[in-house]
Amino acid sequence: MSFSADDLIHIDADGYRDAYDRLPFAFQHGLHQLPMFQPGALAALAERYKDSPEDYFIAGSAATPGTKFYDVTQNSAKPHEALAQLGNAPVRVLLKRLEMHDSGFRDLRDTLFQRVMELRGGLGDEKIVRLESAVFISSAASTTPFHFDPEVTHFFQIEGPKQYHVFSPDVVAEDDLERFYVRGAVNIGQLDLEGCDPHEEHVFDLEPGRGFHQPQDAPHWVKTGTVRSVSYAFSFETTASRARGHVRAANRYLRVIGMHPQRPGPNPGADHAKAAVMQVVTPTLRGVRKVVRQVSGR
């Protein structure tokens, strides 16, 4: 399948470059018109996932946006069974890594990624370490609780309305980021919604044809409206974004022993050394401290 990027995504280029990986930023798109996103095609796609439990996640709705992410009831149904339940109960179905299950979705992911990289001005000396796409199918009145993800995302509303509440990543305290990244796993970060200033919140009233860019670590919670919602997203990590995670993990070690480590960014030499030591299989506190002494001269 081949796609024309110009028909698929319309972004204000200057605004996008300025906001990239820093601020949530809205755009228009045409994905909802593609045959692959029509209800029959999505049902057939869900059926194909039934023997790939590692590639889907099915959950109920959160009681409130502040509910802990994994406290939400998990659902043992297969994706196509869960889709059939959507009219009766609050259910969220996430089909991950679409590109591994369907070549059309691989082409779509690649076309969109290439387009946003052109807009960004290329990858520079960064390399992509993970690039994945997913579809989210949710029943009416379901809530995804407050969390952040360690990846840059572009989110596209396909069917129905969805209200997306998102903050820029700089509302998250370094301490919270460090606690998350020290675990070294690609997962989701948990935060308290009460700790975030409502004035800093961006609210996107999404409907088919609307989408937005979500920076890495941008905290968000989401609720659907009165009918089923379908959304698509592609997300990626680069060598630089993953290295920032390693720096934060090293900083967590340092904070535990009473130091006040510098956040990633201002001192690239120190960042590089911290990131390198955290990629050792089992980083030790002594190792991290030694590296920081070397790069800081003490």
From residue 76 to residue 95, what is the string marking binding to Fe ion with x (rule CB under 5 A)?
Answer: --------------------
Rule CB under 5 A: say whether 149 interacts with Fe ion: yes
R_g of the chain, CA atoms, integer Å = 20
Q: Which stretch binds Fe ion (CB under 5 A): 42-50, 88-96, 106-114, 145-153?
A: 145-153
How many residues comprise the chain? 298
The residues, any chain, with a CB within 8 Å of residue 84's CB and separated by 6 or more, are none
Q: Hey, is 71 helix, strand or coil? A: helix
Minimum distance, C-beta of residue 138 to Fe ion, in the bound complex (Å): 13
Q: How far is CA 238 from CA 127, 198, 235, in A?
A: 5, 30, 10
The residue at minimum Cβ distance from Fe ion is 149
- Which region among 66-74, 106-114, 147-155, 179-187 touches Fe ion (by CB under 5 A)? 147-155
Q: How far is the CB of 100 from Fe ion (least distance, A)?
A: 20
Count CB neighbours of 16 within 10 A.
Answer: 16
Other CB atoms within 10 A of residue 276 CB:
14
Neighbours of 142 (CB within 10 A): 23
What is the rounded distance in angstroms from the CA atom of residue 112 to the CA atom of residue 115? 5
Task: Count interface residues toward Fe ion (CB under 5 A).
Answer: 1
* Widest distance between CA atoms in the chain: 64
The structure tokens listed for 16 are 């996008």
Q: Taking the complex as a whole, how short is the minimal distance between the CB of residue 147 and Fe ion, in angstroms?
A: 6
In the bound complex, what is the minimum distance in angstroms from residue 240's beta carbon to Fe ion? 21
- The closest alpha carbon to 51, from 19, 84, 16, 78, belongs to 78
Pick the piece of the chain touching Fe ion (CB under 5 A) from 40-48, 69-77, 143-151, 155-163: 143-151
| C-beta separation of 97 from 48 below 8 A | no
The residue (of 149 and 217) whose beta carbon lies closer to Fe ion is 149
**Does residue 176 interact with Fe ion by CB under 5 A?**
no
Amino acid at 10: H
Q: Based on the shown chain and the rule CB under 5 A, indicate whether residue 151 belongs to the binding site for Fe ion.
A: no
149 or 271, CB closer to Fe ion? 149
Nearer to Fe ion, 149 or 237 (CB): 149
**Of 146-154, 174-182, 239-247, 261-269, which segment contacts Fe ion by CB under 5 A?**
146-154
Q: Which stretch binds Fe ion (CB under 5 A): 57-65, 120-128, 148-156, 268-276?
A: 148-156
Task: Return the structure tokens found at 259.
Answer: 């130091």
Nearer to Fe ion, 149 or 159 (CB): 149
**CB-nearer residue toward Fe ion: 3 or 234:** 234
Neighbours of 224 (CB within 10 A): 25
Contact pattern for Fe ion over residues 259 through 278, marking x by CB under 5 A:
--------------------
Sites of contact with Fe ion (CB under 5 A):
149
